[in-house]
Amino acid sequence: MAILELLANGLVFSSIIVLASIGLSLVYSIADFANFAHGDTMAVGAYAALLTFGVLGGVGPTVLALPVGFFIALAVGAAVAALVAVVTHVVVYEPLEVDSIGLLITSIGVAFVYRAIIQLRFGSNPIEFDIPLQRPIEALVPLGVRVTVHDVAIVATAALLVVGLHVLLQYTDLGRKMRATADNPDLARVSGIRTRRVEWWTWIIGAGLAGVGGGFLGLYNQLSPRMGFDILLVVFAAVILGGIGSVYGAMAGGLLIGVINQLMPAISDLAVALPLVPNVGPAYADSVAFLIMVAVLLVRPSGIAGGETT
């Protein structure tokens, strides 16, 4: 059975989910609300990368079958997503005098504004990056694994960013301040941490990672204005599974949810063989990810990481 291939696909999809869920979790732990605009922030990053890549074309040598121009475009996408998020934070969220639920509702409005602007500029039809599709890596085909060099690039970049974030959180001054703010904002403030600045950095890092994730999602599938919203629930499932507000939990949850999502065809095979497993098609992959999240909530309400923040 092609279980190895599904696992490989799962790892690729997980990389994207992990990039998205880290940002959602960071904002959850420091700004203290469920940011429903996070998915659309991914779309903002993806479309900014698309625009940049259109201007740059395929400049530079190719790394992992991707022109260097693509990585520059990704960086621009991340920067634009970060900028948009910080501006939104300053203009919309900061002046609000509402509780975390009010912020949550506001973020839905923000999500609609992002998406509407993308739609007005690019139309609602899917677009793709102008990069030729790759054939599967020959050496892995005998093993039954069909992954492209692009998939390797996605996993490698995501791994690099995750390690980078880990170093940032554990070994830098900013990381310590972020952890302190997430843990107890009032205590952090009286200890002399400029929590406002920490909040800004949280948005920059979270939205930047989301922008990269969006760019990769565009490379993996295609770009559409709804791409962020469509993946948002899977990302939420990952974050809740990991335990809201915990970055490391989000990584674990993202990995798990991404793999399960791609394993759906195997579950269908299993259903043919065993009478008790319900046969739901791949169309229900997102729904299944989601039901797993609800099931986890029933057993372990605080998620895998047990409610530890950052």
Partner 1 sequence: MTRAEQGVTLFVGGFGFLLVLALLTGTLTPSYTLYLAGLTGMYVLLSFGLNAQWGYTGLINFSVAAFFGIGAYATALVTATNSPLSIPGGVLVGLVLAILASAVVAVAIAIPTLRLRSDYLAIASLGLAEVVRQIVLNQRDWTNGSGGLRGIPDVFAGWPVLGELPEQLPGLQFTEYAVGIPGLFRVRVLGFTLDTPFWTDLLNFVVVVVFVVAVYLLLRRVHRSPWGRVLRTIRSDEDLASALGKDTYGFKLQSFVLGSIIMALGGIFYAFLAAYVSPGDLEPINTFYVWIAVILGGSGSNRGAMFGGFVVVAIREGTRFASDILPSQLPVNIPVLVDVYGAIVSDFGSTRLLIVGLLIVLVMRLRPEGVLPPQRELVWPSALEEKDE
Q: Which two tokens stand for residue 1?
A: 């059975």
Q: How near is the Cβ of 151 to partner 1 at its closest, in Å?
A: 26
User: What single string gives the DSSP state of each residue in 105-120?
Assistant: HHHHHHHHHHHHHHHH
- H-helix segments, 184-263: 185-190, 195-220, 227-242, 247-262
* Of 45, 46, 65, 61, the residue nearest 150 (C-alpha): 65
Q: Which is nearer to partner 1, 114 or 203 (CB)?
A: 114
**Nearer of residues 117 and 174 to partner 1, judged by Cβ:** 117
Shortest CB 285 distance to partner 1, Å: 10
Minimum distance of partner 1 from residue 268's CB (angstroms): 13
Q: Report yes or no: 74 and 185 within 8 Å, Cβ to Cβ.
A: no
Report the residue count for the chain: 310
The residue (of 55 and 105) whose beta carbon lies closer to partner 1 is 105
DSSP state at residue 221? S
Shortest reach from residue 99's CB to partner 1, in Å? 9
Chain positions contacting partner 1, by CB under 8 A: 33-34, 92, 95-98, 100-102, 104-106, 108-117, 119-121, 123-124, 229, 233, 236-237, 240, 244, 281, 283-284, 286-287, 290-291, 293-295, 297-298, 301
Q: What SS3 class is residue 211?
A: helix
* Closest to partner 1 by CB, 134 or 268: 268
Q: For partner 1, which is the closer residue by CB, 71 or 203? A: 203
The helix or strand, by DSSP H or E, that contains position 101, with its residue range, turns out to be: helix 100-122
CB of 109 to partner 1, least distance (A): 3
Q: How far apart are CA 214 and CA 47, in angstroms?
A: 8
Query: What is d(CA 247, CA 159) in angstroms, rounded to the nearest whole number?
Result: 14
Amino acid at residue number 248: Y
> Whole-number minimum distance, CB 283 to partner 1, in Å?
5
- Toward partner 1, which CB reaches closer, 194 or 300? 300
| Separation in Å, CA 244 to CA 220, 236, 238, 310 | 27, 9, 9, 9
Rounded to the nearest whole angstrom, what is the least distance from the CB of residue 137 to partner 1 in the complex? 33
* Closer by beta carbon to partner 1, 96 or else 156: 96
